[in-house]
Structure 1
Amino acid sequence: MPDPQQTHLLDYLYVLIRWRRLIIMGTLLAAVGAAGISLMLPERFTARTILLPPAEEPKGLGLSLLAGGGSGLPASLAGLVGMSTPSERLLTILDSRTLLGMAVDRFELMRLYSVPHREYAIELLSENVEHELGRDGSLSIETTAPTPELAADITTTLATYLDSLNRVHRRRQATFMRYFLEQRVRVTRQELAGTASQMRSFQQEHAVVDIEAQTQAAVEVVKGVVQELTLRQVELGVASRSLAQDHPERLRLNLEVAELEGQLGSLVGDMSVDVASAASTALGPPLRQLPDLMHEYAELSLALRVQEEILGFLTGKLEESKYREALDTPTLQVLDRATPPKTRSAPKRAMLTLACTAGALVLTTLLAFMLESWQRQREAQEGRMSAIREAWKR
């Protein structure tokens, strides 16, 4: 008994052999046609350049420097917090119609692409330019053109225009920052002048130069006056008991006590109530005027120092902005310069011919089995019709 699987394989082999001319001719025609079409397609060449963008710069004014901190996030973390990196900004410039339009005008691509409008040429050039951002931050630009030289020239020109526009963008940013800093410097100087005027008025009104040193000196003087006044008061008390009221020694002590009380009053102010209380409390409460003055003096001094620090910081940033505005050095480093490619990038004739040949082989094989099936069904139907006619004749 024959194996059913072997029978099926023989049936398949029979179909392939029977329709071999269709399969072979169809496949050959497809291969020849694909080869002919691939020869008719225009050749395309792709040139490539690799650029290294500039290092990450501090964002804004770098106010963290005032606190002794860093100047910004690392470039590797910038994307995680929504900040753009220099490479990403370069991609935006590279996709801009300004840069592509400059290349279209430079190489007269409207005539090369045979389009009536400049916008169409820009769109076609955009389709022929590919860029990729590497994990290390490098930027690669690939341009496809009809000739190797044109592909290399367009790629090099795009890199040059990209660097030029990036420098213009940086100078514009530096100009805007300079305008802002100049305004802030003017305002800060006005505020500093106002605070300095308040400090000067305060010092003139209260006769203050260095309130801490003056307070310490005043305390020492008051201590000496109090000690001397206390001693003279003791001597006067003893003299008042042993000497007559008009005795010269007693009169001298009265004059000394009165003079010391006057000096103490001028030092302590109108806080003292009587001589005894002033003498006993001169080292403490009578000087309680000074905390208010020291507090006001400290506030003015703090405001003055803060504004001086801010002015110094803004002045430094202003000079930095002026430097960046005048800086006109290349911002991109060319790692791999674009050179005319030696081999074409399209069309892939071998791949195209092989793909068409394989597709034609599959399609003609399927067509052969379909034709074989249709023919067998037709023969079976004709056999049934013949049997019916013979049976009818009987």
Structure 2
Amino acid sequence: MYKAKAYAAPGATSPLAATTIERRDPKETDVQIEILFCGICHSDVHQARNEWSGVMPTVYPCVPGHEIVGRVTKVGSAVKKFKPGDLAAVGCMVDSDRTCPECKAGLEQFCPNFVLTYNFPDKDTGKVTYGGYSDSIVVDEHFVLRVPENLNLAGAAPLLCAGITTYSPMKHWRVGKGKKVGVVGLGGLGHMGVKFAHALGAHTVVFTTSPNKKDDALKLGADEVVMSKDANEMNKHAGSFDFILDAVAAEHDLNAYINLLARDGNLTMVGAPEKPLPVAVFGLLFRRRSFSGSLIGGIAETQEMLDFCGEHNITSDVEVIPIQKVNEAYDRVVKSDVKYRFSIDMASLKAE
């Protein structure tokens, strides 16, 4: 074991603060990474504040962070894909059983025994896993990803969650040229959805409640922007979409978007509203429409996404902050006061 610097939440109502944690020494299949940037996901806020106590109670101290980009500093004797000096990334998972049907299909995100990057039982330490708000991390090679050299690293960090969360359902539902795609909500997830839909060649339409986001949506790659509260604008698109990605976590009318789907069209949720939302079944029945959800992606697909981003020079739009401003950033995330993700420059941790 070795000591690593980190920022942790000591309790549900306490601000994150500097601390020291223990990391395991690299085993033969492990990669040790110096963390350069770590994105802030809204789920970090939920976990740090124990807002998911009914489903995933937080164990303190909690070191959040699952959008990790860094440089390899050490590898185990059996590691084949990485060497010291390589750029590397770690997303939402750091292990799985690798034997179940889901793992064998490359869908580790659905493994019943996956291990999340933080706040999950850690078999090596007997405690819980610690995330990317740290100066380093040790992860099995299978769950470490290659980062294209041409990408801005601060902007690449959120790809490990916001990126794959939006890329995976688009690939699953075959978004591409000749398709009409909608993106509901222009936040951390939504802005990545727009970039991917555009890069995949689809006619991309953004739905928003904020008129001041129209220019941003067009700059990000949208072909059209629809004010979702304007019934006339919505009706013009009735029955015309092949796929709609819903990235809104607040309460909203799902049926308004289901009615915009063409025959065999799909609406996929990646936002996670706290309360159940009603769905009118008849809206699905008459055009064989479908309604589904999606959760990040497997390791192979996440690598595919990163490579795609390298080819198309896609990164997240970020505001880079030092770790010392993380508590202020959390408050701003709750208020949706960021365009469109925070990325922590982990070099700032050296000052602690």
Q: Same fold (TM over 0.5)?
A: no
> Relative to total residues, which structure has the larger strand share, 1 or 2?
2
Shorter chain as denominator, the TM-score bin is under 0.3
> Is the radius of gyration larger for structure 1 or structure 2?
1
